[in-house]
Structure 1
């Protein structure tokens, strides 16, 4: 019986999200307004990272498409890990753990045999925005129960047909 690799990545991402929040709290405790602001942003990023493991809100995924690949998520983790680093042991430990996971994700991006888990793939990103990527049965319903037109993208565009007067 094999271990579901997607579950392993979800657990790792949740652990990293927890370390983002822990490191951010350590940063907020440090004296100084810049540390406070940085800590607040790291808490927000940690919460969003954890939410991405359970639900993909279209409002957020539209602007965070980098979270749907090993390379993008790895670079994001390295960035947040470096921001989290501070002089206290708690922030150093949190930052180093986040950076190590980020480096591992960047390396995994270049390993051809490893495929990103379903919630980190382009199809999950497109589904969260309402685009059809999964095959449907004859009734136009995908396995999750959502009904849509198979293979179709929204027909309305926001590109101008010409100058407006």
Structure 2
């Protein structure tokens, strides 16, 4: 029997792959939309393509700048809003744009719904989820997520279920130009 933790990890890895696929689909749809567009639509397309490419990189390995300044990317409602935004940008009359826009809008709504599901693991980068998967799969190990008598997760499970690192605001160094 597969534990709940391993099942959640498989689901999160699948969501990582879907996110990367959707971001790449957005880049392709924006490129198609820019072929027969005016200047303002081309600028919005360039913006959408650059942001989507940055989100592909962030989906694979989180950058510190995204965890500090773009923290909404590390929660489901933030990702949902991003996908709804991309869906609105790429929706157009060509078949690729209709497919990409519809998929982005649907997954945006799914992510917003997931933000209201209690006890659902937070979204992590693919590298973190892959390390967790390798830890679970090593020698057939299948960790059960259960609470001990104090209500806290066991230490071995808590080490494998990692969340995006949080930046401590008190220790972060700021550079101000006076």
The equivalences for 1:140-151 within 5 A come to none
Flag as ranges the 4+ runs of structure 1 deviating above 3 A: 155-159
Structure 1 residue 79: Cα displacement: 1.0
Q: Distance in 2 between matches of 1:41 and 1:33?
A: 12
Q: Closer, same or farther in 2 for the Cα pair 1:107/1:82, shift >3 Å?
A: same
Q: Closer, same or farther in 2 for the Cα pair 1:155/1:89, shift >3 Å?
A: closer
Structure 1 residue 64: Cα displacement: 1.4
Structure (1/2) with the larger helix percentage: 2
Q: Distance in 2 between matches of 1:65 and 1:9?
A: 18
Structure 2 equivalent of residue 118 of structure 1: 124
Q: Does 1:91 align with 2:97?
A: yes
Q: Does 1:46 align with 2:55?
A: no
Q: Closer, same or farther in 2 for the Cα pair 1:155/1:53, shift >3 Å?
A: closer
The answer to whether the Cα contact below 8 Å between 1:65 and 1:125 also exists between their aligned partners in 2 is: no
Q: Closer, same or farther in 2 for the Cα pair 1:23/1:125, shift >3 Å?
A: farther
The answer to whether the Cα contact below 8 Å between 1:27 and 1:84 also exists between their aligned partners in 2 is: yes
The answer to whether the Cα contact below 8 Å between 2:74 and 2:124 also exists between their aligned partners in 1 is: no
TM-score by length of 1: 0.71
Give RMSD over aligned pairs: 2.9
Q: Does 1:71 align with 2:77?
A: yes
The answer to whether the Cα contact below 8 Å between 2:75 and 2:123 also exists between their aligned partners in 1 is: no
Structure 2 equivalent of residue 13 of structure 1: 19
Structure 1 equivalent of residue 37 of structure 2: 31
Aligned residues: 137
Q: Distance in 1 between matches of 2:68 and 2:172?
A: 18
The answer to whether the Cα contact below 8 Å between 2:23 and 2:53 also exists between their aligned partners in 1 is: yes
Structure 1 equivalent of residue 171 of structure 2: 154
Unaligned stretches of 5+ in structure 2? 127-161
